[in-house]
């Protein structure tokens, strides 16, 4: 599985499923290049921060 993050500045970073899985069988997603994208735990969700233009995107957990 691959997810692609594309910032409005065109910075594009892929998150891909690594070989390891957690105790529930869920794959861990690894960031292709963490110099270009940082994922931070926010209040009730995650924040994706583009390291090119410093724009942040907040994703709420449901």
Nearer to Zn ion, 27 or 52 (CB): 52
Binding residues for Zn ion, how many (CB under 5 A)?
7
Question: Which of 3, 9, 40, 59 touches Zn ion by CB under 5 A?
Answer: 9
Q: Considering the rule CB under 5 A, would residue 50 count as an interface residue with Zn ion?
A: yes
Q: Which of 31, 5, 36 is nearest to 17 (CA)?
A: 31
Residue with tokens 């957990």: 61
Nearer to Zn ion, 7 or 15 (CB): 7
Q: Considering the rule CB under 5 A, would residue 53 count as an interface residue with Zn ion?
A: yes
């Amino acid at each position: 599985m691959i997810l692609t993050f594309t910032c409005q500045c065109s910075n594009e970073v892929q998150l891909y499923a690594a070989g390891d899985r957690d105790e529930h069988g869920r794959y861990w997603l690894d960031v292709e290049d963490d110099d270009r994208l940082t994922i931070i735990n926010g209040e009730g969700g995650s924040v994706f921060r583009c390291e090119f233009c410093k724009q942040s995107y907040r994703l709420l957990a449901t």
